[in-house]
Amino acid sequence: MTTSSKKLGDWFDDFEREAFRLETLDDYSKSGGVDAYQAFLAGKPQPADYQTADWMTTVGDAVRSGKRMYRVHILSRPLTEYLRFELSWGYRRNMTAGEEFFILDLTDQEHPMPDAPDFWLFDDRVAGIMEYDDEGRFLGSELVEGDQISRLLAYRDAAMAQAVPFSDWWAKHGE
Per the DSSP assignment, residues forming a β-bridge with 105 are: 75
Environment class of 79 (CB within 10 Å of its CB; exposed 0-12, middle 13-18, buried 19+)? middle
Cβ atoms of 129 and 117 within 8 Å: the answer is: yes
Cβ atoms of 86 and 125 within 8 Å: the answer is: no
Strands (E), 18-163: 18-23, 68-75, 100-105, 119-122, 126-132, 138-145
Give the number of other CB atoms < 10 A from CB of residue 168. 11
pLDDT, one tens digit for every residue, the chain (175 residues): 445 678 999 999 999 999 999 999 999 988 888 899 999 999 999 998 888 889 999 999 999 999 999 999 999 999 999 999 999 999 999 999 999 999 999 999 999 999 999 999 999 999 999 999 988 899 999 999 999 999 999 999 999 999 999 999 999 998 6
Give the number of other CB atoms < 10 A from CB of residue 103. 25
Q: How far apart are CA 136 and CA 146, in angstroms?
A: 28
Domains in the chain, CATH or no CATH each: 14-173 (3.30.870)
Cβ atoms of 104 and 6 within 8 Å: the answer is: no
Residue 32, pLDDT score = 82
